[in-house]
Structure formats: C-alpha cells, structure tokens
Amino acid sequence: MKIIENKQIDEKVYTEELENGMKVIIIPKKNTNKKYIIWGTKFGSNDNHFIEPTTNKEIKVPDGVAHYLEHKMFEQENGEDSLYVLMALGLDANAYTTNDHTAYLFACTDNFYKGLDELMDYVQHPYFTDENVEKERGIIGQEIQRYDDEPMWKLYINTVRCLYDKNPITIDTAGTIETISHITKETLYSCYNTFYHPSNMIMCISGDFEVKKIIEEVKKRLLPKKKIDKIKRIYPQYEPDINKKYIEKTMDVNMPQFMIGYRDFMQNESMIKKNIAIKIICNCIIGKCSKTYQELYEKGLIMRELDFDFEFGEHYSHILISGESNKPKEIYEKITLELQNETITEEDFERSRKRLYGELVTEYDDVENIGRMYLSDSIKGIDSMKYIDEVQRITLKDVNKIKEEIFIKEKSVLSIIKNK
C-alpha cells in the first residue's frame, strides 16, 4: 500500500493496486458521518476506437456507447433498477459519463455497506437484452434532443469543434440520434467486457473508515478476474492547427452567449503546474477583481463574472472562457489582447496564488469533492495531492512563461450563440 501525505493540511491518502489490477484509493476523514464512494472506469465518449485485448482485433463502435452503457447498467435481470434500490436505502446515488471516464457513486450517512453490496453487484453483473436496449433508445434520444436545445452545451461543443477537427473531444457525450441507432446488446457487452475489467477501473472511498478493513470489504465483493494489459486506444493523427476561427449559431437566449477557446500546443510542462498557472493568469487579468473586468462591467459589456476552465487529457488540451454580452465580438477582441499583452504584477500574482491555495484546502474538507477529484485526476494519471505542493512552489516566472506559450490571439477561437 502506498501512502501519500501532506502534513501542511494534515491529509493522508492510501492507494493500493489489487491483484486484478484495480486501483483503490482511500481518503480517511475523521469527525464526519458522511461517507462517499465513486467507482470509475476509463471509458468515455472519446473511446470509440480501440484494440480488443482478448482477441487483439481493432474495434470501432458508434458514438455514444459509453453513455448508453451507463444508462443500462442499473437494470437487473430480476427486474429491479439498482438506482432505485440505492435510493430506497436513503443513499444519494448517481452515475455520469464524461469524455474519458464513466462513474457510479453514492453518498450516505447510514447503510454504507448495504449500498456497497448493491453498487458492486450491479456494476459487475450487466444485463442486456434486445428488448431493454431498444427501450432505452427512445429515452436517450430524448436526452440528446434536450442537449441540442441547451445553449451552453451547444456553445461548448461548437467551441471544441473550432479548436479541433477530427479529435474525439468533439464527439457529443451521448452521441446522436443516428449513431445510437446502431448500438446493440452485442455492442454493449463488447465494450463492457473490454473496459469494465478491474484493471481499467479505479475506486475512491472517502469518510471515516479504517483503511485496511474497507479495502478487505471491497476485495470480498469483487469477482475473481486476472489482471490484463492496458487497453490500446486509437486516436486520429495529431492536429497541428486549430480547425476554424469562428462559429455562430442562433437559439432562444435572452442575451448572446460567447466562449473563447485557446488550444494548448505546448504540452511540455507539468499539467498540474499548467492548470494552476492558467487559473492565476485568468484571475489576475480577467477575473472579477481585475481592471479589465471592471472596465467591461462599467461599460455594460458584461453583466456577470466570466467563467474559465482548463480541460486536458491524453490527446487534447485547451482553455475555455465564457460569458454573456450584447457585443461578444468586442469582448473577444478586448480579452484576447489583454491576455496576450497584460503584465501580471507580483502583488496580483501572490493574491491570486493564495486565493487558489485556500480554494484547494477547502476542497479537501468535503468527502464528495475530494473523492470525485481524486477519481477524475487518477484517470488522467495525476495525484491530486500534488496541487497543494505545486501551488506553493509556482513562481511568477513560471506563470509568465505559460502565459506567453498559450495566450496568443492568433491561436484563439470564438463561438457565439445569438438570439433568434
């Protein structure tokens, strides 16, 4: 068992790789009644092309399979829906699919081990038939249509499609009405048997647990399987340029919405350091306390604080900045020029760095936040605890170097949703 400790925030994380290859992460939290478990597999919307490990055959599946599979995992052969079984126990249960993983989870104060029984039973016992797969097609089709009518989702997907052409990050998580029409029970079983093997899964548990005991409880409920090699994913060739500079769509919105995107072409830094630096840069130059934000707000060009995010994975890396404005193109010109040319002072840097440190420490106080964070970061091969150390080590020189590499106006894109 590996122990990761940070004495400054008095936190310990225990990780163990089991004989079947599954990684278990335990985050003990004393003085809390709340317990949280999240069990994830490295299978998301990006993973539509791969080598099947047992047959060594190249497989291409329809877009939306990971999300479809997540939906079908709850239905059991006895007719029960495991989500309702968990909720009947008083547990806050859920599941979700992203571009790089699928996760099943619950939070509770009581009945944890009854919930663990149900969670580990349904995730290890899929039940797909022609009838129940067909029944789900209409339900997911309605979900896809709802997303198609959601302005923020269209804004996001249009932005990444400006940044990339063939990269699977541009795939809608749920697929399309056309792609899900090709999903069968055989497709689901093939993907389940490939990606839901313990060697491709990570479980995070946080709360007041005795570490060795909870790991033994997990082992008791695991089906016997041998460790397998890492699954080989097949991705399109690296794209050296952005796909297109601008896209505009009309939808039913009260005020035009915009999203600015930057591709990260310089993947030569620690992604943890880069993530921290980008947050500091955006806070200092376009955050709520910045002179740029105050100027835009006073002129009535923006009505609320801008949102910014850094998304990255094995084959993609980009920054997204979004907001609302009646003059989105004017906002784009102002923000991209300021991010490229504005100088960050030592005082602004220190203030933003300390604020970020405080936010990270607060994140560790919540069993759900830290469990979800550890799973998401572990999927990407990152140790979440290192954020605390890196935010203390990072310098203004580091931040300026990353700023000069990424925030280049000519390498940015703009996506707009306007009112019909």
Catalytic residues: 70
In angstroms, what CA-CA distances link 126 with 13, 65, 196, 325? 31, 14, 10, 47
Residue in 143, 147, 155, 145 with CA at minimum distance from that of residue 255: 155
Residue in 47, 62, 131, 157 with CA at minimum distance from that of residue 97: 47
Distance of alpha carbon 339 from alpha carbon 358, whole angstroms: 24
Contacts 24+ apart (CB under 8 A), 154-159: 154/249, 154/251, 154/417, 155/257, 155/258, 155/259, 155/322, 155/415, 155/416, 155/417, 156/259, 156/320, 158/247, 158/249, 158/259, 158/415, 159/247, 159/259, 159/260, 159/261, 159/320, 159/413, 159/415
Query: 């009535």: which residue's tokens?
Result: 300
Residues 380/342, Cβ–Cβ less than 8 Å: no
Distance of alpha carbon 296 from alpha carbon 83, whole angstroms: 46
The pair of three-digit structure tokens given for residue 384, joined into one six-digit string: 């979440």
Distance of alpha carbon 98 from alpha carbon 403, whole angstroms: 28
Residue in 76, 56, 32, 100 with CA at minimum distance from that of residue 369: 32
**Which segments of 380-417 does DSSP mark as H helices, in order?**
386-393, 396-406
CA count, 13 A, side-chain hemisphere, 223: 12
